[in-house]
Amino acid sequence: MPRDNRPAPRRKRSSFYLIALLLPFLIFGILELIFRFTLVGEREPLFVPAGVDGYLKPNDSVVYRFFTNPGAAPNVSIDTTYFLDKKPDDGLRIVIQGGSTAAGFPYGRMASPTGMLEQRLRRAFPSKTVEVISTAMSAVNSYTLLDFADEIIAVEPDAVVIYVGHNEFLGVLGVGSSYSYSLSPEATRWILALRRLHVVEAAIQVYGAALPTPQRQTGTLMSRIARERRIPQNSEMYIQGHRQFRENLGLLLQKYRRADIPVFVGTLASNEKDQPPFSSAEPPGSEAGLWSKLREELLDALENEDGDSAVRTSGQMVGLAPDSADSWYYQGLAGLEGRRFSEARHAFLKAKDLDQLRFRAPESFNGIVRDVTVQQRAAVVDTQTAIANLSENGIIGNESMLEHLHPNTEGYFALASVFYDAIIASGVWGKPEFEADEATARRELPVTELERLNGEWRVARLLRDWPFVDEKQPFTVPEPTSEIERIAKEWHEGRISWPEAMNQALGYYSSTGNIEETIRVAANLATAFPFEPNPSYVTGSAILNDGDAQRALPFLYRAAELEPRNTRYLMSLAQAFYANGRLRDSLAVLERVMAVDPSHPTAPGFAQELKTELESGG
């Protein structure tokens, strides 16, 4: 039979080419399914099991997922926050996103928006399970927030709070960062998206493991992260940083809008009058000598408190070098001396915008925050004004800032308060059960003396290194003059952990009869370890003995819920219910006590008194 040498029909050839074209994709898809099933190539998740039944926590190692070699990652992580893996029916859950300010640097979680919001919301909604979960950490920017969004949506928050923008240029993946993928926002987002594929991530992990282990770098995180130390205004890199921030924030808010999650986005605040520019453009060569001469004249005028002369001289300096951040900063100082406060603030903001070392967000970023947030139907929260209101004449300085952009405890309180007010005003959770006014919140501020001291020492060490000084200067923690200072120093130098330091402070305050600080420390421990009954019991009992039954109730309720057969916990809960006028609830708890311990010495008598009071209409 003769062989048929006629070419295959066109349809068969097309099918062959199609199969050949699709085969690599089919193989890739099969590999992806296998890798997913076997957990090969799994990237670091945002949330992980907490090691306690029923609880999750942020992953300490989540920053590694942005690096080829984990050894190259900066030593940053999210503060531990434990929360229930299944959101309870009475749950009120907020997630915080942002960088170091959102994380509460240098004090830690309790001074952060997380700690202060949680404290105040629990006061306002004592019958609810309030969880404020931080995903904030130093050196990250809008890329990180966008990458976390789907996992945040999965834990069903009732709201998301965002404070971000200062790290867009020099944070992880920022356009001028040592840890950057690309200048292009689209390319960086594509790389992050591809790394969600297990096959891609597995290949990256194998490649990263083959790389030599990088040497641990010394110096501040600021010095290690800043590859580009001069990013002039309106340069290509400056424009890319703006585009990166606008696009990422828009995509982030779009995700939450589609998930029907309310979002509250804060405007950005930084030290305006007490932080000189880190890196200023030099005056033109032909004018440099005259500019320097005028600067000396201006400094003399400031020393002699001659505001009018200072203002005139600073105007000449700006005229000679309008692109110099220093020119505008000196004009701001002159405006302050001449009591021209509006002009002074304008000059200080201009100086910040012209500062070429981009550790503070330019003022145009607040315009982006407002524009994008409104477009995506989220809520703009004017945190910048709230912090400015703490400063004389509305110009942000050392009254509320520790250095270039991190608030002190007063600044953090103002920041958390304005977010709290916005959340309550939105009606997300309905009307508060109790009025958690600002005076009460300030009195119950969840920042202990240990955390204040540790934060002050961290900042003192930071200010003795680049970029605040050219040459690193030594810093030594002062010798302790009190027991609390001794404990704080042990913690600061790493000889004891935060829980150990807090427990030592709790014992000290209890032994000296300092009820206010005993409650503050105990409440922080109870908040940090929601699955441990004893910290909640100690806190609730101390508050109840101090006469605040309403505040004590949630702590005692949690202790009794965690150990429902502990009659000591139950009796304190019954007393708290009684002090709150909830007689029937108190009686129900006493009946539980008698069921557990029929021979309890005081429960039967207390129960009989309640029955008599209820029968008489009490």
DSSP assignment of 386-410 equals HHHTTSGGG---TTTBSSSS-B-HH
Residues 439 and 460 in one domain: no
* Confidence class for position 10, pLDDT limits 50, 70, 90: low
Quote the tokens at residue 80: 């531990």
Instruction: State the Cα torsion 496-498-502-503 to the nearest 10°.
Output: -60
Using DSSP's 3-state secondary structure scheme, residue 94 falls into strand
Predicted pLDDT of residue 64: 94
* Residue 353: inside a domain: no
Predicted pLDDT of residue 6: 55
409, 443, 477 - which closes a domain: 443
Residues 369 and 396 in one domain: yes
Domain of 580 in residue numbering reads as 532-618
Cα distance between residue 81 and residue 118, in whole Å: 11
The one-letter amino acid at 534: N
Strands 263-266 and 159-163: parallel
* Residue 10: inside a domain: no
Residues 236 and 316 in one domain: no
Residues 126 and 229 in one domain: yes
The closest of 539, 548, 614 to 580, measured between CA atoms, is: 548
Positive or negative, the CA dihedral 434, 435, 439, 441 is: positive
Provide the mean pLDDT of the chain: 92
* Residue 460: inside a domain: yes
Omega before residue 185 within 30° of 0, cis: no
* Confidence class for position 36, pLDDT limits 50, 70, 90: confident
503, 531, 559 - which closes a domain: 531
Residues 437 and 461 in one domain: no
Question: Mean pLDDT throughout 250-278?
Answer: 98
Return the exposure string of 528-566: e unless at least 16 CB atoms fall within 10 Å of the residue's CB, then b. Answer: bbbebbbbbbbbbbbbbeeebbbbbbbbbbbbbebeeeb
Residues 183 and 99 in one domain: yes
Q: How many beta carbons lie within 10 A of that of residue 329, not counting itself? A: 25
Residues 79 and 207 in one domain: yes
Residues 478 and 589 in one domain: no
Predicted pLDDT of residue 517: 97
Nearby residues of 523 by Cβ (< 8 Å), 6 or more positions away: 119, 444, 446, 539, 543, 555
The one-letter amino acid at 581: G
Cα distance between residue 289 and residue 293, in whole Å: 6
Residues 81 and 109 in one domain: yes
Q: What is the pLDDT of residues 511-534, one digit of tens each?
A: 999 999 999 999 999 999 999 999
* Residue 354: inside a domain: no
Predicted pLDDT of residue 303: 95
Q: How many domains does the chain have?
A: 4
Q: What is the pLDDT of residues 40-65, one digit of tens each?
A: 778 999 999 999 999 999 999 999 99
* Confidence class for position 217, pLDDT limits 50, 70, 90: low
The one-letter amino acid at 64: Y
Q: Give the predicted TM-score (pTM) of the model.
A: 0.93
* Residue 2: inside a domain: no
pLDDT tops 70 at residue 1: no
Q: Are 80 and 57 in contact (CB under 8 A)?
A: yes
Q: Residue 236 belongs to what H/E stretch?
A: helix 236-258
Residues 545 and 459 in one domain: no
Using DSSP's 3-state secondary structure scheme, residue 56 falls into strand
Least confident stretch, 27-36, 134-143, 195-204, 366-375: 27-36
Residues 506 and 548 in one domain: no
Q: Scanning the structure block, which residue is given the tokens 């910048």?
A: 384
Residues 400 and 507 in one domain: no
Predicted pLDDT of residue 149: 98
Cα distance between residue 609 and residue 232, in whole Å: 76
Predicted pLDDT of residue 13: 61
Using DSSP's 3-state secondary structure scheme, residue 226 falls into strand
